[in-house]
Amino acid sequence: MVSTTPAPYVVEDCGPNLQLFSDGTVIRFEDYNILLPPVLPPALSTVKWKDVVYDAGRGLKLRVYRPPAATVAGDKLPVLVYFHGGGYVIGSFEMDNFHACCLRLAYELPAVVLSADYRLAPEHRLPAAHDDAATVMSWVRDQAVASGDTADPWLAESADFGRVFVSGDSAGAGIVHHVALRLGSSQIAVDPVRVAGCALLFPYFGGEERTRSEAEYPPGPFLTLPYSDQGWRLALPRGATRDHPLANPFGPESPALDGVELPPLLVVVAQHDLLRDRDVDYATRLRAMGKQVEMVEFEGQHHGFFAVEPFGDAGSELVRVVGRFVYGNGGDAAAAAASK
């Protein structure tokens, strides 16, 4: 008997990244990375790195970066937990450009950097990535109290768990927002770890009503409005709109943030980013609530500029801004950077 079942067909075509078929099948393309691999300065070869499993059940890993400064006896360094971008649908800590960013952050801050992978949509829709980030934070907590064979020797020797910062770019910055929200509402317990601040680099937020920057700005080289909308269709729970709390921090059903004790926040904004107005609104609203939030805007830059050019002039300034935030223990350092 001839089957009358129609063959699966493409319902979402993400260009060189992936295709979603009508039967739920996802084809991922291994060569989607169109960024040129950066040339690493020789000094960064002194940063040691290794991959560690943080969730054995799901096979999820993070990459630990330890700069040479961390080898000095008794000189423990702050910890920077980092989540890569990619609209929740692409990306990995293994990508050359994200790897270069984390090498640079580790070396120049300096800090012990933990760059974490997480489950991607549409195979794993939100809040899967946010749940994985919570697991990362639990892993950091466990390392803070570990001893003997259960303790990672690099972290035991080099990490100051009293100075942990959470950062990420684009979708990774969206993850950081939800980590901060879960921490502030006691949904994640990390004691004795102290999360001293969160740095959100051009966060990927959404909403149904278009902002001026979405409506008027020309497409950036690595983010267009159609691609942003498509990313949310693939990442959010099926049937959800861009006003879903997982996309819009101030949507009609989003939790009120007034009473949530957020750590100090640094919000980095790119002037020509389609999401610029959303990011500015995010920082402005939180500041109006009395939160410790500093915003630094990079003139002439587009969304994702740090990953696109990890060693460009803007990337150099971004590393300095994050370094002042980390070593100033919060938003006052970012304010100093913005005034220069």
What amino acid positions are annotated as catalytic residues? 170
Contact 167, 199 (CB under 8 A): yes
**Closest to 279 (Cα-Cα) out of 196, 201, 188, 194:** 201
Give CA separation, 276 vs 137, 156, 245, 249, in Å.
28, 39, 19, 15
Strand 159-169 versus strand 48-55 pairing type: unpaired
Amino acid at 66: R
231/233 Cα distance (integer angstroms) = 5
At 9, which helix (H) or strand (E)? none
Our measurement of the distance from residue 124's CA atom to the centroid of its chain's CA atoms, rounded to an integer in Å, reads 17
At 170, which helix (H) or strand (E)? none
Dihedral sign from CA coordinates of 299, 40, 326, 194: positive
Our measurement of the distance from residue 334's CA atom to the centroid of its chain's CA atoms, rounded to an integer in Å, reads 18
